[in-house]
Amino acid sequence: MNKKCEKLLNFGNFKCKKSFLRLKSFYLCGMSEEYLSILERTSCLYKKYGIKSVTMDDVSRELGISKKTLYQYFADKEELVTKIIDHEIELRNKEFDMVFASNLNAIDELFEVNRLMMNMLKEYSPATEYDLKKYYPALFERIHQIKSRRMYELVLQNMKKGKEQGIYRQEMNEEVIAKMHVTRIMNMPENSMFSREELFSPSVIMEAFVYHIRGIANQKGLEILEQNLKKLNESNKQQII
């Protein structure tokens, strides 16, 4: 379990002044701190134990709240799971929006996206994904569609930006390539060529990331790519030291 979840699960009192959640901006009007805390901390329980094995009784006990309070916010477990997923999608979207709203060239922008993806991998839970797919198939399919559509929009936006900045190939059909890239990424989990460990390893993600840029960048863009890779390698070496 990652440090964020450990920190959240250690807060038994929602009113704690030093709560991690007080540092997070509330992105929906009327969403109480208690409600957000339930979403965040229950998500951590699901990632640690899986969705199926965690009952509403478990949530009530682990979070130190009454079942009455829990059911004031959520009619049943399915609604709780759905709200958690919606909450995490919203947070991810806001993180990506901040990157794309910044004044970066298209390739630097992709390196920031890759950094976010690496952080997301640290929170990835195979048990949660398995339970969603098996016990909440409609929700799992909705998540898949949302991710695909959002990824396509961002990839297309980035390629148009790169062409305007003169660092991507002008002759490429960005709509076709964006669809090909999203299809390849979204279908990788179904491909038996990769083990689960390989599929979600930082090295494989990085290879797919660099492969994509090399296919769309012109000479000027490739030079920016190499500069970023050099900085990344130097940073990794310093972390090892």
Please report the DSSP string for 185-236 in residue order: HHHGGG-TTS-HHHHTSHHHHHHHHHHHHHHHB-HHHHHHHHHHHHHHHHHH
Q: Give 145's contacts (C-beta < 8 A, 6+ positions apart).
A: none
Domains of the chain, by residue range, sit at: 3-15+29-75, 105-240
Helix residue ranges per DSSP H, the chain: 3-9, 33-49, 56-63, 67-73, 77-101, 106-122, 126-135, 137-164, 174-187, 196-199, 202-216, 219-240
What CATH number is given for 105-240 in this structure? 1.10.357
Residue 240 has pLDDT above 90, yes or no: no
Residue 136 has pLDDT above 90, yes or no: yes
Residue 30 has pLDDT above 70, yes or no: no
Of 73-82, 107-116, 185-194, 218-227, the least confident: 185-194
Q: Are 71 and 48 in contact (CB under 8 A)?
A: no
- Identical fold for domains 3-15+29-75 and 105-240, yes or no, is no
Mean pLDDT for the stretch of residues 73-95: 95
Residue 11 has pLDDT above 90, yes or no: no
* Chain center to CA of 116: 7
Q: Are 155 and 99 in contact (CB under 8 A)?
A: no
pLDDT for 18 equals 34
Closest CA to 225 of 214, 235, 234: 214
Q: pLDDT > 90: what percent of the chain?
A: 63
Sequence letter at residue 40: E
Radius of gyration for the chain, computed over Cα atoms and rounded to the nearest angstrom: 20
Mean pLDDT for the stretch of residues 187-200: 79
pTM of this structure: 0.80
User: Residue 240: helix, strand or coil by DSSP?
Assistant: helix
**CA-based max dimension of the chain:** 62
The encoded tokens of residue 122 equal 């640290």
DSSP-assigned letter for residue 20: G
Give the confidence band of 29 by pLDDT, cuts at 50, 70, 90: very low
- Over residues 137-173, the pLDDT tens digits come to 999 999 999 999 999 999 999 999 999 999 999 999 9
User: Residue 168: helix, strand or coil by DSSP?
Assistant: strand
- Over residues 35-57, the pLDDT tens digits come to 999 999 999 999 999 999 999 99
Q: Which CATH number fits domain 3-15+29-75: 1.10.3470, 1.10.1060, 1.20.1280, 1.10.10?
A: 1.10.10
pLDDT for 241 equals 56
Give the confidence band of 212 by pLDDT, cuts at 50, 70, 90: very high
Distances (CA, A) of 81 to 2, 39, 42, 149, 216: 20, 9, 9, 21, 39
Give the confidence band of 61 by pLDDT, cuts at 50, 70, 90: very high
Sequence letter at residue 209: F
Q: Is the torsion defined by CA of 179, 182, 188, 189 positive or negative?
A: negative
Token pair 């038996």 is found at: 192
